Structure 1
Amino acid sequence: MSVTIGELARALDAQAWGDQSLPVTGAAEPSETVPVGKDGGVIALAMAPKYAGALRPGSMAILAEGMNPEEYGLKAAIFAPRPRLVMAGLTRAFDPGPDIAPGIHPTAVIDDNAEIGEGAAIGPFVVIGANARIASGARIGAHVSIGRGTRLGQDALILPGARIAHGVTAGERLIVQPGASIGGDGFSYVTPEESGIEEIRRTLGTRDDLRAQHWTRIHSLGGVEIGNDVEIGANATVDRGTIRATRIGSGTKIDSLVQIGHNVVIGEDCLLCGLVGVAGSSKIGDRVVLAGQVGVSDNIEIGDDVIAGGASKIFTRVPAGRVILGHPAVKMETQMEIQKATRRLPRLASQVAKLQETVTRLLEKG
């Protein structure tokens, strides 16, 4: 596709500079720009001087407000009041999307009782179960499976190899990346007698009696309920509930390799980054951010607007609005003091050793 620099600026609600009739054919890194030709050229995102220095004279770029395009010899530029927001608009404008041909591929296996909405595109080797409902505008990539009774809202995009089990309900504009699994059984087992896990929770670590134990499956009868505008990353997993559904609120974005346990409730507009694990029956509020490798213990509650730094391990309830870090997670400022104190330990140990030597000599003399 091609748009002019002026059209692109208006679409991004930003200010243009220079020749606004120049065609823009795509986006590039600053070092990959070339002078704009008669057929147009790519535009670079160079929103700080350290990036703009790599721009080629005669090219086009998106700059931060206050930068001087003439300094870099540009032919045209767009000024971004909020650079990453402009980046979102730019990448959306030039994203061709996945190659899913319109219509239903002849190799797809669709149950006679399934309902496929108008304009849906179903790729090769897709399997759709009985009584499933796929709304209009959905695009289902190759080798996707969708279980019985599952309902996907309008404009869903399910990319190749994703697995959506039975009894899943999703709102509009769901995006599921390759290899994700939604609606698998929860990891829930019980022993006829008190298990070792239950024992150490009761005794805080003491084991009185070691004996053979055998696990009995607790079946997962609940489903998964997903709101509107949810995205689920590659190879992420969302387990179904035991009795009630596992729930993911509207606007929430889940990164690759995230694990959501059974009965978990996640609020709206949350951000769960790569390798996050949320154990069963925990409740997460709205607008919560869990950075990479955060772990959330089972049966706890995290309030609205909490931000957890990378690799934090959350074992207890977190009140709304708190910023936490560490293992175990505590207030970020507390964790920073802990880290400072930890770095001082070698010096402190050395000082204590010297004091011990001094005391020993004094005692020997006395």
Structure 2
Amino acid sequence: MAFTVQDIATALGARLEGDGTIQIVRAAEPAHAGPCDIALAMDPKYADGLGRGAARAAILWDGADWRGLGLEAAVFVPRPRYAMSGLTRLMDPGPEIAPGIHPSAIIEPGARIGAEAAIGPFVVVGARAVIGDRVRIASHAVIAEDARVGDDALILHGVRIGARVRIGDRFVAQPGAVVGADGFSFVTPEKSAVENVRETLGARGDAAAQGWTRIHSLGAVTIGDDVELGANTCVDRGTIRDTSIGSGTKLDNLVHVGHNVQIGRDCLLCGQVGIAGSSKIGDRVVFAGQVGVNDNIFVGDDVVAGGATKIFTNAPAGRVLLGYPAMKMESHIEAYRGLRRLPRLFAQVAALQKAVSKTHDTD
């Protein structure tokens, strides 16, 4: 697939200078760009790479001297990373899923398939499931009974959508994602050691030895529009009410959302985030990788938590968190600085003790 430099500038809503008819087949780093590539040199620090490559056209930072850099055409963007979103959208061919329903797919009675849907090999669509218009489903995916998937969804290889799950429009699920598995919920006939520890914050008590009994998940999962799930991400169904994810929220690979969790709109959850059951996450919340959230707590709107933060108590709106346990980021940084000073402080205290001891010996 080829594009002209003018096509790229138009897609980005960006300013073009030079020859807009140059044909481009791919994007490349400046030092590795060939004559049919568009070089990505959106910061002055990448200018040297243009001299080592053979690009005729590049995406540059505002104010760059494109002629002086030896180029025949240039596209100027004020916000490089945002420009990358438009460029990659234009140039990404997406997965090859043939139109129509593959002969090996199984469509159970009562299922409804929308117009222009593409359903790949070995896909199973359960009884009474509803698949929206222009949905694309790659091989070996399963859409269980009574599930609903909105229009223009992309469901990639091996995704599992459980029974009664409701999903909005423009949903994207990367390979292996699971939506609507049972929640991890078990109880003992008598009070357990875990319950004692939670109440006392440390004492196991005299809980009897006993086995675990399953609490079944009667709820499902409700997902809004424009939600994306990463590879092998898991969203558990609710116990009674649905687990829910708001419109515009994006989940990275290996994220786990427990039963009954409510996640707001336009949140960003990076790899290996885990949210325990019945917690509520506000709108526009950002969790970096490996953030953990305790069960039955609330995280307010616009909270940002740095990597590996562990949130055990309610977090007010707008708070920036870091650490284990979570605290204000500036407080955590100061505490860590103090921790690094401890060896020197211990040495100073030891020296003082030694000096005081010598003074007493002299007396």
Answering whether residue 3 of structure 2 is matched by residue 3 of structure 1, we say yes
CA displacement 1:171-209 (0-9 Å, x = unmatched):
000000000110000000001111111001112211231
1:348 aligns with 2:353: no
> What is the DSSP-based 3-state SS (H/G/I as helix, E as strand, rest coil) of the residue aligned with 1:173?
coil
Match of 2:88 in 1: 91
Is the CA contact 1:57–1:72 (under 8 Å) kept in the aligned structure 2? no
Paired with 1:162 and 1:150, the residues of 2 have a C-alpha distance of 13
Aligned residue in 2 for 1:159: 156
Provide the residue aligned with 2:333 in structure 1. Answer: 336
The TM-score with structure 2 as length reference comes to 0.97
Provide the rounded CA distance (Å) in 1 between the counterparts of 2:207 and 2:219.
34
Q: Hey, what's the Cα distance between the residues in 2 that align with 1:345 and 1:105?
A: 66
CA distance in 2, matches of 1:48, 1:147: 48
Contact 2:302 2:319 in 1 (8 A): yes
Q: Partners of 2:61 and 2:17 in 1: how far apart?
A: 12
CA distance in 2, matches of 1:133, 1:144: 15
Match of 1:116 in 2: 113
What's 1:281 paired with?
278
Q: Secondary structure at the residue paired with 1:69?
A: coil
Alignment-derived partner of residue 321 in structure 1? 318
Runs of 4+ in 1 over 6 A off after TM superposition: none
**Matching of residues 79-228 of structure 1 within 5 Å:** 79-228=76-225
Question: How far off its partner does 1:57 sit?
Answer: 4.8
Q: In structure 1, what residue type is equivalent to 2:238?
A: G
Match of 2:56 in 1: 59
Q: Aligned ranges for residues 259-270 of structure 1 at < 5 Å?
A: 259-270=256-267
Contact 1:289 1:308 in 2 (8 A): yes
Shift of 1:66: 2.0
How many Å apart are 1:58 and its aligned residue? 4.9
Whole-Å separation in 1 of the counterparts to 2:360 and 2:59: 74
What CA distance in whole angstroms lies between the structure 1 residues aligned with 2:329 and 2:189?
42
Correspondence for 1:231: 228
For the 8 Å contact 2:39–2:55, the answer to whether it is kept is: no
C-alpha contact 2:321 2:328 (8 A) present in aligned 1:
yes
Unaligned runs of 5+ in 1: none
Judge which range, 209-218 or 171-180, deviates more: 209-218
Q: Residue in 1 aligned with 2:40? A: 45
Which deviates more from structure 2 when the two are superposed, residues 51-60 or residues 175-184? 51-60
Are residues 1:360 and 2:357 paired? Answer: yes
Q: Deviations over 1:203-246 (max 9, x none)?
A: 22112315312111000000000000000000000000000000
Q: Is the 8 A contact 1:60 1:74 kept in 2?
A: yes
Query: Cα–Cα, structure 1 residues 58 and 143, in superposed 2: closer, same or farther, change >3 Å?
Result: closer
Contact 2:262/2:281, CA 8 A, preserved across alignment: yes
1:324-355 residue CA offsets vs partner (Å, 9 max, x unmatched) = 11111111110110111111111111101111
CA shift, 1:362, in A, is 1.8
Counterpart residue type for residue 204 of structure 1: L
Partner Cα distance (2:68, 2:334) in 1: 45
Q: Tell me the distance in 1 between the aligned counterparts of 2:65 and 2:148.
A: 52
Q: Answer yes or no: is the 8 Å Cα contact 2:38–2:55 preserved in 1.
A: no
TM-score by length of 1: 0.97
Question: Equivalents in 2 of 1:172, 1:334: separation in Å?
Answer: 41
Which amino acid in 1 is paired with 2:26?
Answer: G
Taking every aligned residue pair, what percent have the same amino acid on both sides? 59
Q: Report the Cα distance in structure 1 between the residues aligned to 2:204 and 2:2, rounded to whole angstroms.
A: 69
Deviation track 1:240-296 (CA, whole Å, cap 9, x = no partner) reads 000000000000000000000000000000000000000000000000000001000
Residues in 2 aligned to 1:229 and 1:210: alpha-carbon distance in whole angstroms: 47
Q: Which shows bigger deviation, 185-194 or 352-361?
A: 352-361
Report deviation, 1:32.
1.7
Indicate the residue corresponding to 1:29 in structure 2: 29
Q: Aligned pairs, how many? A: 361
